[in-house]
Amino acid sequence: MRDDDKKIEISNLRVTYGEKEALKGISLDVYENEILSIIGPAQSGKTTLLKVINRTIDLVPDAKVQGTAKVDGENVRDVKSVYQLRRKIGMVFPLPVGLPLSIYDNVAFAPRAAGIRNRKDLDAIVEHCLQQAALWDEVKDRLDSLGTRLSGGQQQRLTIARALSHQPEILCLDEFSIAVDPVTTMRIEDVLKELRSQVTIILVTNLVQQARRLADRTAFLLNGELIEIDINEVIFSDSPANQMTYDYVSGTFG
């Protein structure tokens, strides 16, 4: 991969919450139109890394960030508008967080906030995003129903549709499959494979096999340190660079 394909550049990133060090000087790059999975046990710093990238770390009162995180070559700490940054970076959280609105209005919320008012334009965006999230066929006849009345798996796909509605260049997913059944998980994985050609995807997951199925490369974090990052063929082989990587992906610990 070439340097000019870098979408995100993390350099010597350190994050502390009060006295607790969550990330200990990690450095890694994420490339355009790849799926990078981030694996590791709980409390390894995986979610913290996502929060730094889209600056929701700003909402944590005792968090202190050192080092740099760049998106398209610009330090996220220097961006003129954090809201513009977050429009560029879609976020999907472990549990589906639906707005108390109709299915249609959930997806149309961000486009309306961006100033789109024409109904035909909104209709097209809503349909496109629901199609992308593999939800359109299931809800097209009840778009006025409350999104919160959908099943858990449908709500998670609605969350993905909403994240896609502001046309992000980067999509971050944090344990998206925790609250959904295996069949829905596989459907969402198929969605992500199709989206790879349009967006850069960062997938935080505790499911080693999910990372193996989906990602181009995988980063292994442990206790706030980057143990190893490489293509999946290396990480999930019998001889990754670090023995701890092999022990984790083979189930010896974690």
The rounded distance, in Å, linking the Cα atoms of 179 and 159 is: 13
Instruction: Tell me the pTM.
Output: 0.90
pLDDT of residue 71: 96
Local mean pLDDT, 10-residue blocks, the chain (254 residues): 83 96 97 96 95 95 96 94 91 77 94 92 96 93 94 88 92 86 86 90 94 97 97 96 95 79
Distances in Å between the Cα of 131 and the Cα atoms of 21, 158, 174, 175, 219 are 41, 10, 22, 22, 30
For the packed helices 152-164 and 103-113, what is the interaxial angle rounded to 10 degrees? 20
pLDDT of residue 230: 98
Give the type of residue at 34: E
pLDDT of residue 169: 95
E strand map for 42-198: 63-71, 74-75, 89-92, 170-174
pLDDT of residue 177: 82
Beta-bridged to residue 219, according to DSSP, are: 38, 229
**Residue 208 token pair:** 């080693």
Angle at 174 between CA 168 and CA 175, to 5 degrees: 135
> Which runs of consecutive H residues, i.e. helices, occur in 196-252?
208-214, 232-235, 243-249
Rg (alpha carbons) of the chain, rounded to whole number = 18
pLDDT of residue 1: 60
The rounded distance, in Å, linking the Cα atoms of 102 and 143 is: 7
pLDDT of residue 2: 62
Q: How many CA atoms lie within 13 A of 171 on its CB side?
A: 29
Q: For tokens 């991969």, what's the residue? A: 1
pLDDT of residue 166: 87
pLDDT of residue 199: 94
Give me the domains of the chain, ranges plus CATH numbers.
3-249 (3.40.50.300)
